Amino acid sequence: MNFRTLIGASALALTTALAAGGAQAQGVSVSISCGALGQELDICREGAEAWAEQTGNSVTVVSTPNSSTERLALYQQLLAAGAADIDVFQIDVIWPGILGEHFIDLAEHMDGQQDEHFPAIVENNTIDGRLVAMPWFTDAGLLYYRSDLLEKHGFEAPTTWQEMTDTARAVMEAERAEGNDQLWGYVFQGRAYEGLTCNALEWIDAHNGGSVVNPEGEVTVNNPQAIEALALAGTWIGDISPEGVLNYAEEEARGVFQSGNAVFMRNWPYVWALANAPDSPISGNVGVVALPKGGEEGKNTGTLGGWQLAVSRYSANPEVAADLVRYLTSYEEQKRRAIVGAYNPTIAGLYEDPEVLEAVPFFGDLYDTFVNAVARPSRPTGESYNRVSAEFWEASHNVLTGAATAEQALADLESSLNRMSRRGW
């Protein structure tokens, strides 16, 4: 095979592809990236196809990598090349600032529908006055606990982090004395990645220590409350948390908790269904509450997660694509998704909808957590967010491994963030 046939064949392939594209005359074709494969993609496809049937357009669902780092990298390649291959992008809550420039302003296409959604998320998705993405579903960190173990040893679900620490240790020691020597007190996401940023932000915000960078773009992380929060977390490793937690992401933590080897776990809402599945050893013995407060004056908080839908400005049919977004983020579709897949709606009214509450009971109790979730500083730091987050998780990881004290780590973090921001975020 020589190179000329290669070029020739590819030219042929291209013409065929173009011809195929032109053949679809009635309605337009829109492609949407949502989820990787499996159930998430199926639920998305059902919604998108319902829209296609209603409007007479057609829709292609593109699967993208499961890991959000890989997905962001792929999106950046496509968008930087101005590719029109994907019209609607499913983006993480921290990406509007990073990718915003490539998306159209959705405000005028939504018929005011955006006002029904949680204001905090809408604000998060508004970059320089442009609504670059619509909220689709939300997520927030939660505290899972073993209701059977707490009851057995006479404890209530903790309300402060200190109480959580003490309870975890007491239960762990009592259980170990009875021979359950695999048991640990608390597991969370301690690997140096975005998940640790979420965890550490929750500790700090619970202590009223701010969110690393304030909305005005000033570095606020070096404060006594933040130091107190991180210092407490630093005491967990080797005490109530295994050393391995320093390399845990979501699934590693769930593995330990779901095998019955941890009293408490911080994780996202997805764990609920899995931990209560029939084959789970702890099925029926799992409780979930809002994450504890940092002391009496602190607050319950959880890091805001979740996904948004945005329309590429390189799309051939931005209006049609925006209409798909409007449909997918609407009350009815979010309700369907909440019932079928337990995706947390971003519309307040759905948390009082009886059908939704019947399908996912804990939505009602945790409404406050979802609506008050703390946003990572992705808006003020814009394109630099990933660098800020990397510095922050690195500092937190150093405190957890004991490589630095909380005072030291946060002072260093402050100076490196200031150094970074001197030329603007």
Partner 1 sequence: MAMSAKSSELTRARVRSAWLFLSPMLVVLALVAGWPLVRTIYFSFTDATLSNLSDYDFIGFANFIEYYEGEWYGVIVDPDWWRAVYNTIWFTVVSVGLELILGMIVALTLNAAFPGRGMLRAAILIPWAIPTIVSAQMWGWMLHDQFGVLNAILMGIGIISQPVAWTASPDTALWAVVMVDVWKTTPFMALLILAALQMLPSDCYEAARVDGINPIKVFFKVTLPLIRPALMVAIIFRALDALRIFDLIYVLTSNSRDTASMSVYARQQLVDFQQVGYGSAASTLLFLIIALLIIVTLMVGRVRLGEDPR
Partner 2 sequence: MRTPWYAKAGFWLLIVAIVIFAIFPFYYAIVSSLRSGQALFSSSVWPDSVSIANYVSVFTGQPFGRNILNSVVVAVSVVAISLFLGVTAAYALGRVTFRGRGLLLLTILSVSMFPQVAVLSGMFELVRAFGIYNSLWSLILSNMILTLPFTVWVLTTFMRELPKELEEAAFVDGASPWVVVSRIFLPLMWPAMVTTGLLAFIVAWNEFLFALTFTLSTEQRTVPVAIALLTGATQFELPWGNIMAASVTVTVPVVVLVLIFQRRIVSGLTAGAVKG
Distance in angstroms (rounded) separating the CA atoms of residues 346 and 77: 29
DSSP per residue, 367-415: HHHHHTPBPPTHHHHGGGHHHHHHHHHHHHHHHHHTSS-HHHHHHHHHH
Q: How far is the CB of 260 from partner 2 (least distance, A)?
A: 10
Q: How far is the CB of 114 from partner 1 (least distance, A)?
A: 24
Cβ closest to partner 1, residue 344 vs residue 398:
398
Report if residue 259 touches partner 1, rule: CB under 8 A: yes
Distance in angstroms (rounded) separating the CA atoms of residues 240 and 323: 50
- SS3 state of residue 145: strand
Find which of partner 2, partner 1, none residue 273 binds, CB within 5 to 8 Å per kind.
partner 2
Asked whether the beta carbons of 155 and 167 are under 8 A apart, the reply is: yes
Find which of partner 2, partner 1, none residue 38 binds, CB within 5 to 8 Å per kind.
partner 2
Q: How far is the CB of 182 from partner 2 (least distance, A)?
A: 11
Q: How far is the CB of 232 from partner 1 (least distance, A)?
A: 20
Return the half-sphere exposure (C-beta side, CA atoms, 13 A cut-off) of residue 111. Answer: 7
Helix, strand, coil percentages for the chain (3-state, nearest 5): 50, 15, 30
Q: How far is the CB of 425 from partner 2 (least distance, A)?
A: 23
Cβ closest to partner 2, residue 78 vs residue 417:
78
Q: What are phi and psi of 140, to 5 degrees?
A: -155, 150
Which stretches of the chain bind partner 2, using CB under 8 A?
1, 6-7, 9-11, 13-14, 17, 35-41, 60, 62-68, 70, 74, 77, 80-81, 83, 85-86, 250-251, 254-255, 258-259, 268, 270, 273-274, 277, 279-281, 307, 341
Q: How far is the CB of 73 from partner 1 (least distance, A)?
A: 5
Report if residue 176 touches partner 1, rule: CB under 8 A: no
Output DSSP code: residue 213.
B
What are the residues whose beta carbons fall under 8 Å from the beta carbon of 235, sequence distance 6 or more?
165
What is the enclosing helix (H) or strand (E) of 261?
Answer: none
Q: Pick the closest to residue 35 from 127, 136, 142, 132 (CA basis).
A: 136
What are the residues whose beta carbons fall under 8 Å from the beta carbon of 250, sequence distance 6 or more?
189, 195, 267, 268
Cβ closest to partner 2, residue 126 vs residue 258:
258
DSSP per residue, 286-318: EEEEPPPBSSTT-----BEEEEEEEEBTT-S-H
Q: What is the largest CA-CA distance in the chain?
A: 78
Find which of partner 1, partner 2, none residue 411 binds, CB within 5 to 8 Å per kind.
none
Instruction: Find the binder of partner 1 among 162, 261, 405, 408 (CB under 8 A).
Output: 261
Residues 363-402 as x/- pattern, contact with partner 1 by CB under 8 A: --------------------xx-xx--x---x--xx--x-
Find which of partner 2, partner 1, none residue 390 binds, CB within 5 to 8 Å per kind.
partner 1
Find which of partner 2, partner 1, none residue 65 binds, CB within 5 to 8 Å per kind.
partner 2
Distance in angstroms (rounded) separating the CA atoms of residues 42 and 252: 26
Report if residue 246 touches partner 1, rule: CB under 8 A: yes
Binding site for partner 1 (CB under 8 A): 2-3, 69, 72-73, 76, 80, 98-99, 101-102, 182, 184, 190-193, 242-247, 252, 255-256, 259, 261, 383-384, 386-387, 390, 394, 397-398, 401, 419, 422-423
